[in-house]
Structure 1
Amino acid sequence: MKAAVITFPGSNCDRDLAVAFENAGAEVVRVWHKDSELPSGIDVVGIPGGFSFGDYLRCGAIAANSPICRGVVEHANRGGYVLGICNGFQVLTETRLVPGALIRNMNLKFVCKTVGLKVEQTDSIFTGGYVAGSEIQIPIAHHDGNYRADDALLERLKGEGQIAFTYAENPNGSAGDIAGVFSDNRRVLGMMPHPERAAEVVHGSTDGQALFRALVDGLVSA
C-alpha cells in the first residue's frame, strides 16, 4: 500500500504525517507541490497541516491551485483516497473535494490544545477502527478552523452520513460542531484535528493510530 504526502512551502506537519503512515505499514512517497502529477501506484494522498504559502489570500487557496493539486483532484475523481488535515482540510475545501468552507476562528485567536472528538460515522475506510459515538482525544492547532455550511448543506451532510467527527466542546465556532467531513463517496476526508499528533505513546494520546491503521489495512485488503 503506497501513500503520497504532499509538501507545500509552509507545510510543517508533512514529516509527522509521513511517519504516521509508515508506522501503520504504508510505503510513503514524498511529493513536492510543483510536481505536475502523482507517482504511479498511489493508493492514498495525504495533505498535511501547516501554513501553505503563508496563508495568503484564503488559507489553502494558493496551494489548491498548485500543479500537484490537479493530480490530487484527478486521483480523487478516479475514486482514489485523500486525507487532508488542518491546512490540508482547507486545501480540500478550496479544491471542492469536500463541501463547505473554513474561516477565522470565532474568537479570532489561534487555538492549540487537545480536544475531545465524537466519532459520528464509522462506515468509511478512515473511521472503521473506531466505535460510533465514542470520544477520542486529538490535538488541534489552527487559526482558521471555523467550518461553515448553510442549513441545507448541514442537513445533507447529516442525512448522507458525511460528518466524520464533531467536537465534544466546540473550540472555534464550527457549524454543527463539525471537526471533519467526507466527500460524497466517503473516499476523501478533511479534518481540522491532527491524528498524526496522537499516534504514538510519547504524544500523550494514541487515539489517532486507529485512523491510520484502519486506512492502511483497508487498502491492503481491498
Structure 2
Amino acid sequence: MRFYLVIFFGILAYLLLGSRSCGPDHSEDSISAQARLKQTKDSIRNGFESAELSKEALRVFEMNACRKLTDLADYIRIYSDKSVDKSFKNQARQMIIDMFADSAIVINRKITEAGKPGNVSLSEFLDQQIAEKGFTGETVFDSISVTNHLTRTSESIYSGSLSFVRNIEVPTPSGKVLKNSAGMNAGFYAIKKSKLFGNDTLTIWSVFLGEIK
C-alpha cells in the first residue's frame, strides 16, 4: 500500500509544484524561482557533495538505511503479488534494484522463504525466487538496528551493517496462520555517485543496501 501512496503523492506534488500559475507570468516570480533553485542546489552541494561526511550526516544515512530495509519488505510484497498490475510490479522491481549498490549483490533465499538457506544474486532473486514462483506469505522486517556504524572504506564509500528479524506469516487452507522468524543481517553503504538535477550533474553521497544474509 505504501508503494501506491508514493506514486499518488509523487504525481500530486508534480501537479501542484510543477504547474504554471493561472495569473500573468511576472519576471519577479521567475527570478525568485531561479534563486530558490540555486539555493537548493547550493544546499545539496554543501551537505552531500562534501569530500567527507560529518558524524551527523552519517547518522542520517544510517536512519535512511533502516527505512530502506523496511520499504524493501513492502516492495517485495507488491512485486510477488500476482494480483497486482504488471506496470506496478515493474515499478516495484525497479525500486528494489535502485535500493541496492549493485544487481550482483548477494541475497539469502530465507529472506522470503522459511527453511530455504542459500545465496543468490539480487537479479536471480527477482527473476526466479519471486517472479517465477510468486510468494503467498507476508514478509515483515522487525527490530532493525545498526550493528556496525558507517566507517570509511575508500575515498567514495562508507560501509556499515544492520541486523533485523525477518517474520513470515503464511495463511493455510484451514484458516490457521503459520509463522516463522529468522535473524538476518544486511550491509549498507554511503556511496558518492553522480546524479542529474535539472541541467546540472552533482556528485553526491547516497545510501544503498548491500548483501543480505
Report the TM-score when normalising by structure 2: 0.28
Structure having the larger proportion of residues in strand: 2
Q: Which of 1 and 2 has greater Rg?
A: 2
Report the TM-score when normalising by structure 1: 0.27
Structure having the larger proportion of residues in helix: 2
